[in-house]
């Protein structure tokens, strides 16, 4: 399997995207296709083993009448682990979910299955060498449900084995390339670092390598030693992306078209309407150019000029519309261009017909023929003007994404072999993890990394929303794309290129355009049937008025003008074709989503699709994890209490440190830091574990390992009481003062409990304001945590949460069950907010999963919305959740408003164009209809741009006026002034699920 990304030019509405998508999906070997109208980006997954090539896909797009170019093409690696998403329809209850889960889980090679009844999605992790996505789809269908594959992608199993694919252009220096292509491939494949090399086209090879074992510069050096000049082909061109988002090509085209058509339209209007209105005598007395020609009776000079101008505008300037019409006709799909082409062609050819009739019949009264060249010319002028305004407005909707893309510098300066005096400047594509990068004042930081030398202040406003410069020193983390202040520093690159935080944000924003909300799919359906419906209405309108005017002459004096019944009925029919606008419907959702996700990214909120916006519209319940979500997650061991007051030995410290080092949990990191400090404070020898023989992490409980130290083997368990021996609790002195509000982690060595760690964690600076805001606005807030009950209650009190809504000592699976129960008993949507690996099941189970970016990558991947937050405890914030709520709700309301006005426009204007008001002498001229059509699309895009006026929510305004002290003082007073019997009044929910 391979995946290719293309850019499609020339699409104007959802009918265009439907045509292209349908055409690509009909190509044999194509597995999936997703296309965005706003960005023009098309992602195609296809099977190249059947002979399908990228050129065939491009050809299928061009057959639809659109220009297409490939951005990148890469192989979906047949690695052990894949992540697949399927859409399952027909499920009605929990029993259906269980049936699908068991059916898929029974397949050999399936690791994990998560099925959501509400979203009708099935997420599967599986071994690609044992089972494929089609087999999984068949298993779901065997259970009695319909299934559709939504996506398949490689899932990273651990942090040590990441493969990256890069295309390299080769130019032979010493000999011809095609003399020994196999030799090049075999030479590169020596070693485990480069597992795959293939020629994809002339002089271009695709290299797949382990980026943690070899860098791209090393590969280029190997090729150079073989006698080749090697240049990397970037996976994405920032300048090209910016041009696409800014609609540079489209704006230039429509600017030229608009200038030509408007200039000639003014001349045509003066000829056909201006002079006759200002000087009627010139027309009555047949002055030039209203004079009959000397060489052909019945032909007038006015019509010669009109014919020349109309022909040029219709077939030269307006050739775009004819090409689009022909392509839509071939595929039986109508667009706005179809309506424009038909209406202008009718006006043009009717005018020619009138001229011919006037010449043949030789009108005896000397009247000029009924020609409407001015109508066809003015229509194209109005539509061109509207298209120009529309594309300019479209480019404004993607300014946030364009700003993020422009943050990546084209080159960077690195230090090689420790030579700080002579740094080397390289293209940004050649930067690799582990490089030491030099950053001077005012420069853009090229990648994520950690400072190793110097200090500075950094502007991270476009990434984190922090308006003030952030101070950075040695060991501080920097974000790629942020801008350096006055300092000069060096840092070690960690995440580069497509793996950086900035690239992930850009990728998420683009992906949001490919995920359609249900309301957008409804609008697209309306647009797909719009054009044939309008053409049918126009034909019926012409027939109706022609027949009615013929048999009912008296009441229809207006339509029976001097121009004749046919002429008047024909103009009304043309107005119907012109005034209708499917473009407004097609643009209603994608433009609003682009603006909404853009302002979200500017305010620390990443929204992963239009469907998420719709779910936010009916939110009732927020469920929070505690550690790392309501708290900073930067835990610290307050003290160690040994069984019978015994202190930790040096050996115990060594094995505990080695055991906790296998886990990334904040508690484990706090204990490792404590052990390091204890070892440093002791002057005697510091024993070190020689090997960790085995280790197992129990989600939500702790770790159990077997360590080897000085030839002896130790079995170590660190974590919750449930990991300890069951009979130990009956005689332990450690439980006597357990109710102390600390997070507690017990320690067992060789099945004997030796003590516990008391750990503290700070509340985020705005957790209280966030919970207070949600409570005041009618939302219910809950806490679900694996921590002990006393610690959970303390945090709930500090943040102002109802103590009866606290679930403590809950395992990861239990979090999902609690979320599911809340979803079953709540009419609205349930949002889960978390950050850890153990939160991933709950994030997927909930209607909307919100992850804090300071947490694990798995949680971030599982979530629907990501809140960007600073890892530093003093800057850790939860306010982004309120911004996410407000942005999502207002964006969805804007989508509904856009669709409402688009529907209202057509509902209101089409009847008027059809002649509802003709008996009262009111009708819509085709030129006025053309202007209305052009402005309707512009108005929808401008409506979406109104979202840019959004301002972050001020959560401080909702605080009680009598809390005049600082938040920290208020929390301290709240905690220390509560009555001693407070806990006795709480409905105890330790480890229990609500009934």
Residues assigned a catalytic role: 625
DSSP class of 273: I
Residue 7 in contact with residue 247, Cβ under 8 Å?
Answer: no
Q: How far apart are CA 861 and CA 606, in angstroms?
A: 12
List the one residue out of 21, 22, 15 whose CA is nearest residue 524: 15
Per the DSSP assignment, residues forming a β-bridge with 470 are: 458
Question: Encoding tokens for residue 606?
Answer: 């990443």
Residue 780 in contact with residue 805, Cβ under 8 Å?
Answer: yes
- How many beta carbons lie within 10 A of that of residue 310, not counting itself? 27
Query: Residues 6 or more apart from 871 whose CB is under 8 A from it?
Result: 477, 634, 854
Q: How far apart are CA 126 and CA 137, in angstroms?
A: 13
Q: Map residue 180 onto helix, strand or coil.
A: coil
Question: Encoding tokens for residue 711?
Answer: 């030839």
Alpha helical stretches, state H, 515-624: 518-528, 530-551, 565-579, 582-602, 610-615
Q: How far apart are CA 460 and CA 441, in angstroms?
A: 14
Half-sphere exposure of 559 (CA within 13 A, CB side): 32
CA distances from 985 to 218, 979, 988 (A): 67, 11, 9
Residue 541 in contact with residue 910, Cβ under 8 Å?
Answer: no
For Cα atoms 722, 724, 726, give the angle at the middle one, nearest 5 degrees. Answer: 80
User: SS3 breakdown of the chain: % helix, strand, coil, rounded to 5?
Assistant: 50, 20, 30
Residue 643 in contact with residue 732, Cβ under 8 Å?
Answer: yes
- Cα radius of gyration (the chain): 35
At residue 335, φ and ψ (nearest 5 deg) are -130, 180
The per-residue DSSP string of 73-88 comes to EEE----SEEEEEEEE
Q: How far apart are CA 264 and CA 26, in angstroms?
A: 43
State in Å, rounded, how far the first CA of the chain is from the last one. 47
Query: Residues 6 or more apart from 472 whose CB is under 8 A from it?
Result: 451, 455, 456, 457, 458, 478, 487, 489
Element housing 103 (H / E): helix 94-105
Query: Residues 6 or more apart from 8 whose CB is under 8 A from it?
Result: 20, 35, 40, 41, 42, 61, 66, 67, 68
Query: Residues 6 or more apart from 941 whose CB is under 8 A from it?
Result: 390, 393, 394, 397, 587, 591
List the one residue out of 215, 68, 75 whose CA is nearest residue 152: 75
Residue 865 in contact with residue 611, Cβ under 8 Å?
Answer: no
Please say whether the dihedral angle defined by the alpha carbons of residues 139, 144, 148 and 154, taken in this order, is positive or negative. negative
Do you find a cis peptide bond into 289, omega within 30 degrees of 0? Answer: yes
CA distances from 813 to 632, 700, 723, 809, 841 (A): 23, 9, 17, 12, 7
Please say whether the dihedral angle defined by the alpha carbons of residues 218, 224, 230 and 231, taken in this order, is positive or negative. positive
Strands 411-415 and 436-439: antiparallel
């Amino acid at each position: 399997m391979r995946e290719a990304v293309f850019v499609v030019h020339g699409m104007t509405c959802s009918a265009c995207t439907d045509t292209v998508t349908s055409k690509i999906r009909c190509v044999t070997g194509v597995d999936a296709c997703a296309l965005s109208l706003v960005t023009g980006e098309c992602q195609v997954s296809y099977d190249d083993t059947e002979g399908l090539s990228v050129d065939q896909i491009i050809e299928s797009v061009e057959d639809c009448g659109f220009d297409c170019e490939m951005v990148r093409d890469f192989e979906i690696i047949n690695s052990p682990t894949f992540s697949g998403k399927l859409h399952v329809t027909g499920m009605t209850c929990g029993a259906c979910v269980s049936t699908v889960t068991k059916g898929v889980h029974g397949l050999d090679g399936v690791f994990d299955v998560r099925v959501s009844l509400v979203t009708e999605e099935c997420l599967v992790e599986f071994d690609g060498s044992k089972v494929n996505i089609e087999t999984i789809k068949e298993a779901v269908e065997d259970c009695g449900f319909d299934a559709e594959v939504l996506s398949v992608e490689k899932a990273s199993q651990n942090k040590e084995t990441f493969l990256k694919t890069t295309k390299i252009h080769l130019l032979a220096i010493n000999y011809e390339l095609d003399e020994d292509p196999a030799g090049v491939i075999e030479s590169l494949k020596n070693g485990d670092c480069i597992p795959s090399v293939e020629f994809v086209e002339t002089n271009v090879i695709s290299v797949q390598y382990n980026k943690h074992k070899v860098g791209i510069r090393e590969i280029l050096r190997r090729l150079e030693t073989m006698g080749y000049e090697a240049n990397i082909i970037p996976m994405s061109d920032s300048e090209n992306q910016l041009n696409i988002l800014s609609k540079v090509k489209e704006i230039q085209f429509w600017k030229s078209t608009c200038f030509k058509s408007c200039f000639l339209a003014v001349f045509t209007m003066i000829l056909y309407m201006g002079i006759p209105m200002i000087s009627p005598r010139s027309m009555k007395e047949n002055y030039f150019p209203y004079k009959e020609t000397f060489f052909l009776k019945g032909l007038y000079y006015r019509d010669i000029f009109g014919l020349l101008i109309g022909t040029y505008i219709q077939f030269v300037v307006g050739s775009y519309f004819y090409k689009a019409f022909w392509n839509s006709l071939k595929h039986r799909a109508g667009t706005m261009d179809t309506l424009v082409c038909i209406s202008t062609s009718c006006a043009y050819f009717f005018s020619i017909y009138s001229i011919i009739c006037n010449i043949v019949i030789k009108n005896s009264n000397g009247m000029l023929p009924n020609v409407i060249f001015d109508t066809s010319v003015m229509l194209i002028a109005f539509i061109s003007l509207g298209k120009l305004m529309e594309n300019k407005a479209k480019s404004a909707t993607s300014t946030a994404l364009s700003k993020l893309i422009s943050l990546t510098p084209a080159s960077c300066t690195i230090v090689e072999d420790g030579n700080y005096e002579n740094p080397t400047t390289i293209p940004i594509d050649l930067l690799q993890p582990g490089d030491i990068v030099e950053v001077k004042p005012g420069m853009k930081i090229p990648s994520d990394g950690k400072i190793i030398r110097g200090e500075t202040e950094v502007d991270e406003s476009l990434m984190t929303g922090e308006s003030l410069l952030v101070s950075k020193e040695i060991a501080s983390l920097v974000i790629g794309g942020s801008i350096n202040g006055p300092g000069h520093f060096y840092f070690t690159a960690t995440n580069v290129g497509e793996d950086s935080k900035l690239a992930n944000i850009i990728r998420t924003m683009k992906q949001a355009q490919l995920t359609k909300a249900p309301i957008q799919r409804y609008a697209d359906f309306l647009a797909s049937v719009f054009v044939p419906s309008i053409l049918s209405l126009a034909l019926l309108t012409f027939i109706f008025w022609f027949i009615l005017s013929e048999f009912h002459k008296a009441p229809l004096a207006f339509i029976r003008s001097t121009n004749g019944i046919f002429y008047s009925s024909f103009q009304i029919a043309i107005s119907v074709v012109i005034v209708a606008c499917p473009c407004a419907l097609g643009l209603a959702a994608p433009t609003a989503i682009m603006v909404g996700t853009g302002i979200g990214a500017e305010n620390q909120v990443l929204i992963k699709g239009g469907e998420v916006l719709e779910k936010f519209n009916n939110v009732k319940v927020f469920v929070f994890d505690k550690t790392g979500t309501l708290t900073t997650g930067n835990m610290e061991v307050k003290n160690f209490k040994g069984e019978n007051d015994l202190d930790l030995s040096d050996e115990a410290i060594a094995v505990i440190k080695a055991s906790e080092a296998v886990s990334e949990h904040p508690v484990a990191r706090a204990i490792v830091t404590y052990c390091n400090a204890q070892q440093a404070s002791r002057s005697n020898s510091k024993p070190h574990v020689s090997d960790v023989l085995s280790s197992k992490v129990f989600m939500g409980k702790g770790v159990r390992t077997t360590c080897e130290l000085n030839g002896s083997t130790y079995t170590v368990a660190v974590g919750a009481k449930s990991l300890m021996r069951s009979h130990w609790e009956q005689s332990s002195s450690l439980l006597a003062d357990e109710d102390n509000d600390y997070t507690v982690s017990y320690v067992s060595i060789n099945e004997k409990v030796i003590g516990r760690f008391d750990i503290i964690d700070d509340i985020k600076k705005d957790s209280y304001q966030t919970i207070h805001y949600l409570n005041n606005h009618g939302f219910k807030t809950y806490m679900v945590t694996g921590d002990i009950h006393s610690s959970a209650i303390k945090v709930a009190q500090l943040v102002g949460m109802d103590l009866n809504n606290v679930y403590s000592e809950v395992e990861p699976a239990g979090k999902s069950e609690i979320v599911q129960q809340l979803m079953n008993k709540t009419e609205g949507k349930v949002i889960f907010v978390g950050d850890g690996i153990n939160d991933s099941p709950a994030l997927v189970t909930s209607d909307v999963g919100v992850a804090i970016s300071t947490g694990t990558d798995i949680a971030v991947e599982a979530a629907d919305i990501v809140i960007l937050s600073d890892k530093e405890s003093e800057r850790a914030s939860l306010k982004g959740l309120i911004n996410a709520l407000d942005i999502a709700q207002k964006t969805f309301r804007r989508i509904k408003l856009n669709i409402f006005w688009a529907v209202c426009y057509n509902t209101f204007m089409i009847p008027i164009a059809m002649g509802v008001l003709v008996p009262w002498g009111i009708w819509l001229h085709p030129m006025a209809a053309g202007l209305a059509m052009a402005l309707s699309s512009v108005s929808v895009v401008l409506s979406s741009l109104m979202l840019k006026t959004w301002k972050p929510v001020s959560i401080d305004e909702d605080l009680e006026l009598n809390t005049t002290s600082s938040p920290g003082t208020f929390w301290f007073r709240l905690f220390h002034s509560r009555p001693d019997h407070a806990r006795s009044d709480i409905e105890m929910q330790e480890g229990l699920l609500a009934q």
